[in-house]
Each structure stands twice: as C-alpha cells, then as structure tokens.
Amino acid sequence: MSHYVKERLSQGRYEHTKGVVEMAIELANCYNVDTDKVFIAALFHDLAKEIPVEESLKLCKEYGVEIDQFEREHPHLIHGKLGACLLERDWGVTDSTILNSVRYHTVGRTHMTDIEKIIYLADMVERGRKPYPALEQIRRLAKHDLNKAMYTALSKSKEYVKSRGQEMHPITDVLLEEYKTYDI
C-alpha cells in the first residue's frame, strides 16, 4: 500500500502523508478508534492531490464523482473526493468510514465520525506542518477533545482564508454552527 501511494506523490507530499499517518494513529489511540482504518485513510488522504486539474476534472466526470459549484471554481479541493473514488476503484475499499475520511478531509461535512475528524485534524497538525498561529492549540485540543479541535480548526482556517481575501467553502459556516457549542 505505502509503495502504491509513494509512487504517485512527490517526495514532499509523501513526507506530509507519513506525518499525517503518524499523527492520525496517535489521535486514534487517544480515542480508542480502529487504527487499521485510520492508517488506510491517512495513507490515501492525498492520493489524488498532485493529479493535474484538467485530468482531475476529467476523472471526476468519468467516474461520476459529484463536485459542487464551489469545488468547480476551486478545483484544488476535489482531490479528497477523487482520492476516495480511486481508493475504492484500485483497492476495492468499500468501508464508508475510510472512504468518507478521504473524501471529506479537505472541507469536512456535517456529522463527521471520529475517524473523519481524526484525518481532517491530522492533516492540519502533523508534525511536518509549517508553523501557523493556531497550530499548537489545535494539536493540543485534538488530543483531548475532537469537537473542540474541529471548532477551533474551522474558525482559525476561516479567519486565515478571509484575511487573504479568499472564499471558504460554504460548508464551513454550517460546520461552525454544528460545533459552536465547543467554542473554547
């Protein structure tokens, strides 16, 4: 499995992936979550990240991967959905928890499972990440309360993206509402 992923990613992206696997396993152990499922989801989370945009869009159309208008306008976000499709197609993975963890690790979705939250957060806080203002706070929260970590990660991401004059996926506000009771 690792060899398959390594062949499809640049060295830097593969190093990031190894960091996500390590952090995801650490978080899975904090919450007594199935580490085999977490390992697979973390390993494959960025499988489609470096596929060129035109090819990604073509593959989405070819395999019936539904993308929304925001994703069409921001195609760098579709790699999770496409990666889940490729994981199912090439490896026969049918476990919805694993597939959804890959599928929604970029923007999230409502009612995420613990494994989905772990992959989403591990992607943001793996040890190889360049430092950013809330990194240590989110990393610390992720080890103690996934929901508080999700709220903080979402709100800090939104602040950052807005400060750069960019748009967030509309699901962000829906998720902030879902997790608002976990505001610290």
pTM recorded for the entire structure: 0.95
Helices 146-163, 171-179: crossing angle, 10 deg rounding = 140
pLDDT for the residue numbered 183:
79
pLDDT for the residue numbered 182:
84
Q: Among residues 113, 157, 117, which one has the least CA distance to residue 137?
A: 157
Query: What are the DSSP calls for 51-78, one per residue?
Result: S-HHHHHHHHHHHT----HHHHHSGGGG
Residue 142 one-letter amino acid: A
By the 8 A CB rule, do 28 and 38 touch? yes
87: tokens are 């994981």
Mark the ranges of the chain whose per-residue pLDDT is less than 70.
Answer: 184
Report how far residue 27's alpha carbon sits from residue 29's, in angstroms, rounded to the nearest whole number: 5
pLDDT for the residue numbered 158:
94
pLDDT one-digit tens code per residue, 52-62: 999 999 999 99
- Domains located in the chain, CATH noted: 2-131 (1.10.3210.10)
| Ramachandran area for residue 64 (φ above 0: left; ψ -120 to 50: alpha; else beta) | left
Residue identified by tokens 């999700």 is: 150
Q: Among residues 104, 112, 82, 118, which one has the least CA distance to residue 169?
A: 104
pLDDT for the residue numbered 1:
81
Report how far residue 91's alpha carbon sits from residue 46's, in angstroms, rounded to the nearest whole number: 15
pLDDT one-digit tens code per residue, 15-32: 999 999 999 999 999 999
pLDDT for the residue numbered 106:
93
pLDDT for the residue numbered 138:
96
